[in-house]
């Protein structure tokens, strides 16, 4: 399997979100204000959503475009895969 150029960036974002999520758990355990916690949860959610979008767009731009250019698979396969992966946007 080929590593995509965006994977290191996605990993970096997800690790940052992971650390942030751990700090939110500590905030909950420390009885911090709900508004503050909600704001932090929103930030983590946005980071994960952006990581997902980057992954999906990278797949469309590189994997599916390559599959279409290569033409080795059934012609309908890239289209089906495109429809499937865009469900996650």
Look at residue 5 in the predicted model and tell me its pLDDT.
Answer: 85
Q: Which superfamily does CATH assign the domain made up of 7-88 to?
A: Metal-sensitive repressor, helix protomer (1.20.58.1000)
* pTM over the 0.85 mark: no
Contacts of 54 (CB under 8 A, 6+ apart): 6, 9, 10, 13
Look at residue 72 in the predicted model and tell me its pLDDT.
Answer: 60
Look at residue 80 in the predicted model and tell me its pLDDT.
Answer: 81
Q: Which long-range contacts (CB under 8 A, 24 or more apart) does 78-84 make?
A: none
State the 10-residue block means of pLDDT for the chain, 89 residues long. 80 95 97 97 95 90 74 70 83
Contacts of 66 (CB under 8 A, 6+ apart): none
Tokens representing 58 are 């990278």
Domain boundary assignment for the chain? 7-88
């Amino acid at each position: 399997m080929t590593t995509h150029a965006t994977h290191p960036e996605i990993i970096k974002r997800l690790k940052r979100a992971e650390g942030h999520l751990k700090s939110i758990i500590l905030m909950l355990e420390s009885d911090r204000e709900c508004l503050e916690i909600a704001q932090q949860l929103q930030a983590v959610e946005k980071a994960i959503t952006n990581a997902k979008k980057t992954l999906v767009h990278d797949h469309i731009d590189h994997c599916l475009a390559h599959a279409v250019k290569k033409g080795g698979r059934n012609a309908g396969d890239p289209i089906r895969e495109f429809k499937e992966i865009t469900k996650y946007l």
